Structure 1
Amino acid sequence: MECQKSNDQIAYPVFYDVDPSEVRKQRGPVGEALAEHTNKDIRKWREALTEAANLSGWDLEKTADGHEAKVIKLIVQHISLELRSINVNLDDKLVGMEPRLQDLEESLDIASNEVRMIGIKGMGGAGKTTLARAVFDRISVHFEAKSFVENVREVSKASLSGLLSLQQKILSELLNGQGNNVGSVHEGTKI
């Protein structure tokens, strides 16, 4: 709570098997646990718990029907969205990129849960990869696995192992490092 006050950090309490009102009022098991302590810092702890209970957070029992994994996923998504807004800033020199980005995001319609494929075409140097990367950075938080591959044509034609290295990169990113053992392009295609 001190970090939230002094460092402009954000605290998100997670009430795991405890009711927020018990924390706020320090009753029930929370009150009993605090009563066991008699040191002088207990006042600070009581104040911090009251402040934390007054913040918007997650109550496991009342979120996602108490399903722990779903609550964890919601927390990760929320925090990732918060961090994304900090980290995803378009370069000010990219004139006209924001409207293009918004149009592309609308076309993808992430909330629909439908499969979408979007093609971006244009002359070389027009910003297609930059636009694709910006969209990827913004929406990748919605996916459990993700990979951004650029310069596919150049890398795959550069050498005989170019396509295989691209497959290994994609599979490694999607399978958390487990895709490096692909022995051939044919095997990679099947996976």
Structure 2
Amino acid sequence: MEQWKLIVIVFYHVDPSHVRRQRKCFEQGFSDHEANPEIAQQSVETWRDAFRKVGALSGMHVTPNRNETEVISEMVAKILKNMPDALPKDLFHGLVGMESRVDEIKRILRMESSEVLFVRICGMSGIGKTTLAESVFYHIQRQFEKSSFIENIKDISKQDDSTDLCKLQQKLLDDILKEKSVRLQSVKHGQTLLRTKLRGLKVIVV
């Protein structure tokens, strides 16, 4: 993957127009620089030009009365939304036609929908169902608030051992919460907790 960069402009407790026009605190600062014989006037003009360009850019305006936690969440969401797909370089190596199948599944997924959607990938053993599901997951996981990829779920779900089912729920919960502090006591406990934690979130589970 080619090197990727994203610049997020944040005006923190400062009016963008003050940056663009060098007003308020910036005005005094530039006046001091212009009066300083050790600083070349050409340098000051270069700085002014940079401030004019930055102040004209569209960015996030953080005022003193705004909740900074919300600002950080908004910033993270913007970065994740604009990041390119970071697929393993060898994900499609030796797999004929895999990319077209991934694109086909992405087309049938109603990403803009707020409804719960189930997609089943069917076929005989060994044809690449898990690899296809993993590929789709890597492609679209950043478009969701939370995500989890759980392997061997079929083998575990066949068993009647509640301990194994509880481990499966624990893995899902760990992926969703991104912490290890919550430990499940039973399958029923897991069902209740997952229902509570997933409510209102846009989540992809594979």
TM-score by length of 2: 0.67
Q: Which amino acid aligns with 2:171?
A: K
Match of 1:132 in 2: 133
Give the equivalent residue in structure 2 for 1:82. Answer: 82
Give the secondary-structure state (helix, strand or coil) at the position aligned to 2:107.
helix
2:177 to 175, 178, 190: 175
**1:90-129 pair list within 5 angstroms:** 90-129=91-130
Q: Which has the higher contact order (CA 8 A, sep 6+)?
A: 2
**Aligned counterpart for 1:165 among listed residues 164, 167, 185:** 167
Give the Cα separation in 1 of the matches to 2:169 and 2:24. 56
CA distance in 2, matches of 1:184, 1:16: 47
Would you say the 8 A contact 1:168–1:179 is kept in 2?
no
**1:4-153 equivalence runs, <5 A:** 9-32=5-28, 35=31, 43=44, 46=48, 48-59=50-61, 71-85=71-85, 87-88=86-87, 90-153=91-154
**1:117-148 deviation digits (Å, cap 9, x = unpaired):** 11111122222222222222222223222211
Query: Which of 1 and 2 has greater Rg?
Result: 2
Deviation string 1:67-114 (CA, Å, 9 cap, x unpaired) is: 7666544432231133343x1255343332222222212222111222
Structure 1 unaligned regions, length at least 5: 1-6
Structure (1/2) with the larger helix percentage:
1
- TM-score, length-scaled by structure 1: 0.71
